[in-house]
């Protein structure tokens, strides 16, 4: 960073010094030409003061007077009459601009020009004057070309550039220090804080990026944490499920095993044998039931089949008439408030599972001679009974897997505490709400809101 800033300022300085050098050379050159023109005019006035012969001697004498400036005498047409440099007489200079200017300027015309002299091989300044249209006098002196002036200024420019480079190094170090300190501070703060602020407007976009990045990292961490929790919960739930299944299986298996051993040992009365056979039969039925319930629960749990419109009214009426004998056995009256053609987007087996479980429970946990009221419309399903009810404490637990309030009912009614868990799972998957209101000893009301 430091070196980049230094290189940049060094480059800019170098270009500036060069531009400055070239520009000042040009100004100096132009002003030296103006000065040159002036003193050549003054030189020319010297010619008027002394009458020089228009021959080579005259030219040399005038040249000496002018400290060796080249002097050329010409006739009115520009033909050279004499030149202070020997051997130049034969030439006609009438095409040179200072001479044409002096001729065309009339009696007192004059002309000025600067060029590299082909004769002397150097840059020369020429001034030519017309004397009353009779003859022309031209004076020429050496002058520095603009390039030469530039070359002469080079040592000064180099010294100047050296000082500037040294200054650039110092400035680069100071500037990087001033820039880097707040940037470093911001970066350090960003490591420790979720939100960083800065007073420097130039660093505000950087602070915004760091804050956004911190937010993203936090979001990702939250997601990872949430996923971990879900996995952990799933693992716990699986362990709990296995433990419950094992527990539920243990009682019938122990019972079957015990009676089988007694039968094998022999010596039982006929009555005892009958009891043993009956128990083995009932407990193996119970085991089969349990396995059926578990299979049903896991099928519902992993069921992703597409939904379709089910006529829930028909399904409800059919189920109620199928369960009527069961209710009649215990003198339980069933009242229906079922709207016609309640169409629900679901699957037949899912609705049958919910409705069957709720009505069977309403019969199972009812009192003899009690009643059940079933209400079904497009908004909700309600199954209300006048049964044993559920205590406040157990109301939130009834939807948990393998939860049964009264363990003595367990088995007797074939309940493993999976019916309401299955109903809740289906409701959750369908986006419905299942709830219970109950008063112990008075009855319960289960509601599903579609």
| Interacting residue ranges for ligand ADP, rule: CB under 6 A | 357, 361-362, 365, 385, 387-390, 398, 403-406, 409, 415-421, 444
Return the number of the residue (161 or 358) whose C-beta is nearest ligand ADP: 358
Return the number of the residue (36 or 417) whose C-beta is nearest ligand ADP: 417
Listed as own residue / partner, the contacts of 191-200 with beta carbons closer than 8 Å and 24 or more positions apart are: 194/218
Is residue 439 within 8 A of residue 379, CB to CB? The reply is no
387's tokens: 């049964």
Return the number of the residue (13 or 357) whose C-beta is nearest ligand ADP: 357
Residue 294: C-alpha distances to residues 256, 279, 289 (Å):
20, 22, 9
Return the number of the residue (231 or 439) whose C-beta is nearest ligand ADP: 439
Smallest distance, Å, CB 365 to ligand ADP? Answer: 3
Return the number of the residue (182 or 414) whose C-beta is nearest ligand ADP: 414
Smallest distance, Å, CB 393 to ligand ADP? Answer: 12
Interhelix angle for 204-265 vs 270-301, to 10°? Answer: 160
Query: How would you classify residue 144: left for phi > 0, otherwise alpha for psi between -120 and 50, otherwise beta?
Result: beta
Is residue 357 within 8 A of residue 423, CB to CB? The reply is yes
Smallest distance, Å, CB 218 to ligand ADP? Answer: 41
What would the DSSP string read from start to end of 217-261?
HHHHHHHHHHHHHHHHHHHHHHHHHHHHHHHHHHHHHHHHHHHHH
Contacts of 380 (CB under 8 A, 6+ apart): 447, 448, 449, 450
Closest residue to ligand ADP, Cβ-based?
A: 415
Smallest distance, Å, CB 197 to ligand ADP? Answer: 56
Smallest distance, Å, CB 416 to ligand ADP? Answer: 5
Smallest distance, Å, CB 394 to ligand ADP? Answer: 7
Interhelix angle for 348-364 vs 312-329, to 10°? Answer: 30
Residue 233: C-alpha distances to residues 227, 229, 240, 423 (Å):
10, 6, 10, 21
Smallest distance, Å, CB 407 to ligand ADP? Answer: 9
Q: Containing H/E element for 115? A: strand 110-116
Smallest distance, Å, CB 397 to ligand ADP? Answer: 8
Return the number of the residue (58 or 419) whose C-beta is nearest ligand ADP: 419
Return the number of the residue (78 or 419) whose C-beta is nearest ligand ADP: 419
Residue 365: C-alpha distances to residues 121, 292, 322, 385, 409 (Å):
129, 22, 18, 9, 9
Return the number of the residue (229 or 285) whose C-beta is nearest ligand ADP: 285
């Amino acid at each position: 960073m430091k070196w980049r800033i230094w290189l940049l300022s060094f480059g800019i300085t170098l270009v500036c010094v060069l531009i400055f050098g070239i520009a000042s050379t040009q100004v100096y050159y132009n002003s030296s030409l103006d000065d040159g023109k002036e003193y050549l005019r003054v030189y020319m006035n010297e010619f008027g003061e002394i009458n020089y012969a228009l021959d080579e001697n005259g030219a040399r004498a005038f040249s000496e007077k002018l400290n060796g400036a080249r002097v050329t005498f010409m006739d009115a047409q520009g033909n050279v009459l004499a030149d202070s440099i020997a051997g130049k007489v034969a030439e006609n200079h009438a095409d040179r601009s200072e001479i044409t200017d002096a001729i065309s300027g009339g009696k007192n015309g004059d002309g000025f020009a600067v060029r590299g002299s082909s004769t002397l091989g150097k840059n020369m300044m020429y001034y030519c004057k017309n004397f009353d249209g009779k003859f022309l006098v031209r004076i020429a002196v050496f002058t520095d070309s603009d390039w030469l002036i530039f070359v002469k200024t080079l040592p000064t420019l180099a010294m100047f550039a050296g000082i500037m480079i040294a200054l650039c190094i110092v400035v680069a170090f100071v500037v990087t220090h001033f820039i880097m300190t707040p940037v470093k501070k911001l970066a350090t703060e960003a490591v420790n804080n979720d939100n960083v602020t800065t007073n420097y407007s130039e660093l505000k976009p950087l602070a915004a990026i760091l804050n956004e990045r911190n937010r993203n990292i936090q979001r990702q961490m939250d997601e990872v944490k949430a996923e971990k929790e879900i996995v952990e919960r799933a693992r716990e739930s699986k362990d709990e499920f296995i433990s419950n299944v094992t527990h539920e299986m243990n009682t019938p298996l122990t019972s079957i095993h015990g009676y089988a051993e007694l039968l094998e040992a022999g010596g039982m009365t006929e009555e005892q044998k009958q009891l043993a056979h009956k128990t083995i039969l009932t407990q193996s039925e119970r085991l089969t039931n349990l396995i059926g319930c578990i299979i049903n629960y896991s099928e519902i749990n992993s069921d992703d089949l597409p939904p379709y419109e089910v006529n829930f009214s028909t399904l409800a009426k059919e189920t109620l008439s199928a369960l009527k004998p069961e209710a009649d056995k215990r003198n339980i009256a069933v009242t229906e408030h079922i709207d016609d053609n309640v169409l629900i987007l679901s699957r037949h087996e899912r609705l049958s599972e919910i409705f069957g479980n709720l009505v069977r429970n309403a019969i199972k946990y009812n009192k003899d001679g009690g009643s059940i009221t079933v209400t079904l419309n497009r908004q909700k399903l309600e199954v209300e009974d006048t049964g044993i009810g559920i205590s406040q404490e157990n109301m939130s637990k009834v939807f948990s897997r393998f939860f049964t309030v009264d363990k003595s009912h367990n088995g007797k009614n074939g309940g493993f505490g999976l019916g309401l868990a299955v109903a809740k799972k289906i409701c959750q998957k369908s986006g419905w709400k299942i709830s219970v209101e109950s008063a112990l000893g008075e009855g319960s009301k289960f509601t599903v809101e579609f």
